[in-house]
Amino acid sequence: MTTATVISNVPTTLTREQQLELYHFLRLTRLLEERLTNLYRQTKVVGGLFRSLGQEATAVGTAYALDRSKNDMLTPLIRDLGAVLVQGGTPRELFLQYMAKKDSPSRGRDLNIHYSDLKRGFIGPISHLGDLMPVMTGVILASRMRKEDRVGLVYMGDGASSTGAFHEGLNFAAVQKLPIVVVIENNQYAYSTPTAKQMAVENIVDKAVGYGVHGVMVDGNDVIACYEVTKQAVDRARSGGGVTLIEAKTFRMKGHAEHDDQKYVPKELLEYWAERDPIKRYEAYLLGNGLATQGDLDAMVANINASLDEDMAFAEANPMPDPESAVAGVYAEF
């Protein structure tokens, strides 16, 4: 079954503490990325910087629906920093990783969120778009064969969802009725290509029917709605209901990466989506429902900034890796 409407403004089962935790992760994602942008401009970030400005709620709300006590797993893409933070990635290791420092998780061998931690349940992006779909299909198939109770969450851009690898992986996961949730982050552009120029359907969720999986559309800038639809999909997956494809409608408020001034995006579109900023909206929701005062929110932001100051200073002081270390740990040693 596929929903024809975009789910938004739904009631939630989350407690006040959990709703404040969602705010924490949204703010942490944005503040961390702002610092990374400053470091990038000082040429301290190695490689590109891919912002999730304006679409933070999609990654944060959906990842929050996983059950970490059951070792649920996710595969983030470059714009899913928020999902990595929810899953237990720390700002300190992320600063180290973006600057390719000696003590970064990949020891300077790879960049940004390109690192994995099976214990915390995230498999870092591989650059070939779409390939994480068959990777997660394999992981969850193996998990089911071992009789583990694990759900997998796969993130895919609108562009990535047009690849052959994505199709093969999703088709196989659907046939196997694997406990997988696929979140397609429809942020309207794949690099400079608008969605309408790379697929003929109006809504990506329409493709769910062709795979024989459940499909749902959600307002990707509504963090609670993202959580609620994903929670339902995770519960369905865990109880044997198979794959759900979620299309989250959102917008990429920055260029593909920091070098890209996105001059190909009409100004009106940016203005339209700026009005729908997920953090501004969520603040209005928290204040309007008496879940927090402005003072509470300001205090949370001040705490995040204080701990980011420490983490950034630590990472900046960390040396670059010794050149000789590049050859070790590449192949298994017997």
**Residues found near ligand TPP in the complex (CB under 6 A):** 79, 127-129, 157-160, 163, 187, 189-191, 252, 256
| Shortest distance, position 320 Cβ to ligand TPP, whole Å | 26
Q: Which is nearer to ligand TPP, 93 or 185 (CB)?
A: 185
| Shortest distance, position 54 Cβ to ligand TPP, whole Å | 11
Q: Which residue is nearest to ligand TPP (CB)?
A: 157
Cα–Cα distance, 4 to 208 (Å, whole number): 12
Cα–Cα distance, 249 to 7 (Å, whole number): 10
Angle at 48 between CA 314 and CA 275, to 5 degrees: 95
| Shortest distance, position 284 Cβ to ligand TPP, whole Å | 26
How many beta carbons lie within 10 A of that of residue 119, not counting itself? 8
| Shortest distance, position 86 Cβ to ligand TPP, whole Å | 18
Q: Which is nearer to ligand TPP, 199 or 291 (CB)?
A: 199
Q: Which is nearer to ligand TPP, 130 or 179 (CB)?
A: 130
| Shortest distance, position 161 Cβ to ligand TPP, whole Å | 7
Inter-residue contact 165 to 159 (CB < 8 Å): no
Residue tagged 């498999």 (tokens): 123
| Alpha carbon 24 to chain centroid, angstroms | 15
| Shortest distance, position 102 Cβ to ligand TPP, whole Å | 28
Q: Which is nearer to ligand TPP, 71 or 193 (CB)?
A: 193
Q: Which is nearer to ligand TPP, 154 or 190 (CB)?
A: 190
Q: Which is nearer to ligand TPP, 94 or 184 (CB)?
A: 184
Cα–Cα distance, 159 to 325 (Å, whole number): 36
